Amino acid sequence: MQEERGRSAYKPNCNGLSSYYRERFGSHSPEVYMNLRISGFDDHLERDAIKKCLTHELKKFAPFEIKVVKNPEEDERLAYVNFERNDCARKVRYNLMERLKGVLGENVQCDPAGILRDQEGKYIPDRFNRAQGDRKDTGGSSGNRNRPSKEPQTWRLKKDDDEATRTLFVGNMPSDVKEREIRSIFEKYGKVEEVDIKTPINTDAAYAFVMFQTVDQAIRAKQHEQDNSIRSQGSRMKIGYGKSQVSRKLFVGGLGDWCHTDTLQKAFGKYGSIESIELNSREQFAYILFESTHVSQEAWKALRNVSIARGTPPIVVDYAKDSTAHSEKQQFRKRRASKSPVGANVQRTPPSSPKDVVRNFEELDATYAPTWSGKMALKKTDYPVKFYRVHGAERLVVKLLRDEDDAPLRLLITQRLSLCSQDLLFGKLTSCNSKEISLGVITGKKDLEDLQPLVNYFTNKEAAGVVTVPGGILYIFPFCEFALKLLAEFCPQVHVFNENCPFLLGALAVRSTD
Per-residue pLDDT band at 142 (split at 50, 70, 90): very low
Compute the half-sphere exposure of residue 206: CA atoms within 13 Å on the CB side of its CA: 19
Do the domains spanning 249-321 and 332-336+348-513 agree at the CATH topology level? no
Radius of gyration of the chain (CA): 27
Catalogue the long-range contacts made by 413-417 (C-beta closer than 8 Å, 24 or more residues apart): 413/376, 413/377, 413/378, 413/465, 413/466, 413/467, 413/476, 414/466, 414/467, 414/468, 415/465, 415/466, 415/468, 416/461, 416/463, 416/464, 416/465, 416/466, 417/463, 417/464, 417/465, 417/466, 417/475
Enumerate the domain spans of the chain: 2-145, 161-241, 249-321, 332-336+348-513
Per-residue pLDDT band at 294 (split at 50, 70, 90): confident
Helix, coil or strand: residue 353: coil
Pairwise pLDDT comparison (2 vs 166), residue with the higher score = 166
Task: Note whether 193 and 211 are within 8 A (CB).
Answer: yes
Pairwise pLDDT comparison (149 vs 479), residue with the higher score = 479
Confidence (pTM): 0.37
Pairwise pLDDT comparison (10 vs 363), residue with the higher score = 363
Phi, psi of 406 (to 5 degrees): 70, 20
Q: What is the pLDDT of residue 162?
A: 66
Residue 21 pLDDT > 90, yes or no? no
Pairwise pLDDT comparison (116 vs 101), residue with the higher score = 101
Sign of the four-CA dihedral 399, 403, 408, 411: negative
What interhelical angle do 293-303 and 261-269 show, nearest 10?
A: 100
Compute the half-sphere exposure of residue 94: CA atoms within 13 Å on the CB side of its CA: 14
Cα–Cα dist 299/290, whole Å? 10
Sign of the four-CA dihedral 468, 471, 477, 480: positive
Q: What is the pLDDT of residue 137?
A: 42
Alpha-helical segments (H) within 2-76? 2-9, 19-25, 47-57
Q: What is the pLDDT of residue 352?
A: 41
Highest average pLDDT, of 211-215, 246-250, 260-264, 484-488, comes from 260-264
Q: Across residues 37-46, what is the average pLDDT?
A: 87
Residue 326 pLDDT > 70, yes or no? no
Pairwise pLDDT comparison (152 vs 457), residue with the higher score = 457
Q: Across residues 194-205, what is the average pLDDT?
A: 73
Q: Across residues 159-163, what is the average pLDDT?
A: 65
Residue 291 pLDDT > 50, yes or no? yes
Query: Mind listing the pLDDT tens digit for each residue in 115-127?
Result: 443 333 444 344 3
Residue 156 pLDDT > 60, yes or no? no
Q: Across residues 294-312, what is the average pLDDT?
A: 88
Cα–Cα dist 168/214, whole Å? 11
Please name the helix (run of DSSP H) or strand (run of DSSP E) that holds residue 411, with its range, or none.
strand 410-413
Q: Across residues 281-292, what is the average pLDDT?
A: 85
Helix, coil or strand: residue 441: strand
Q: What is the pLDDT of residue 122?
A: 42
Per-residue pLDDT band at 182 (split at 50, 70, 90): very high
Task: Note whether 504 and 451 are within 8 A (CB).
Answer: yes
Q: Across residues 56-84, what is the average pLDDT?
A: 80
Q: What is the pLDDT of residue 160?
A: 66
Amino acid at 171: G
CATH of domain 2-145: 3.30.70.330
What interhelical angle do 215-225 and 179-186 show, nearest 10?
A: 100
Compute the half-sphere exposure of residue 446: CA atoms within 13 Å on the CB side of its CA: 8
Pick the CATH number of 249-321 from 3.20.20.150, 3.90.1330.10, 3.40.250.10, 3.30.70.330: 3.30.70.330
Per-residue pLDDT band at 245 (split at 50, 70, 90): confident
Q: What is the pLDDT of residue 183?
A: 93
Residue 313 pLDDT > 70, yes or no? yes
| Choice among 208-212, 307-311, 341-345 with the minimum mean pLDDT | 341-345
| Choice among 23-27, 306-310, 492-496 with the minimum mean pLDDT | 23-27
User: Across the beta sheet with 35-39, what order do the strands follow?
Assistant: 64-70, 77-83, 35-39, 109-113
Per-residue pLDDT band at 93 (split at 50, 70, 90): confident
Strand partners, 110: 38
Alpha-helical segments (H) within 335-410? 361-367, 394-400
Residue 75 pLDDT > 80, yes or no? no
Cα–Cα dist 41/291, whole Å? 39
Residues in the chain: 514
Query: Mind listing the pLDDT tens digit for each residue in 431-469?
Result: 888 788 899 999 888 777 888 889 888 888 888 999 988
Domain 332-336+348-513, CATH class in plain words: mainly beta
Tell whether omega for the bond before 354 is within 30 degrees of 0, i.e. cis: no
Cα–Cα dist 301/308, whole Å? 14
Q: Across residues 487-504, what is the average pLDDT?
A: 82
pLDDT, the chain, mean:
76
Q: pLDDT over 90 for what percent of the chain?
A: 10
Cα–Cα dist 488/484, whole Å? 6
Q: Across residues 214-234, what is the average pLDDT?
A: 87
Pairwise pLDDT comparison (170 vs 356), residue with the higher score = 170
Q: What is the pLDDT of residue 4?
A: 38
Domain 161-241, CATH class in plain words: alpha beta
Q: What is the dihedral of CA 180, 181, 186, 192, to 10 degrees?
A: -20
SS (H, E, C) 262-297: HHHHHHHHCCCCEEEEEEECCCCEEEEEECCHHHHH
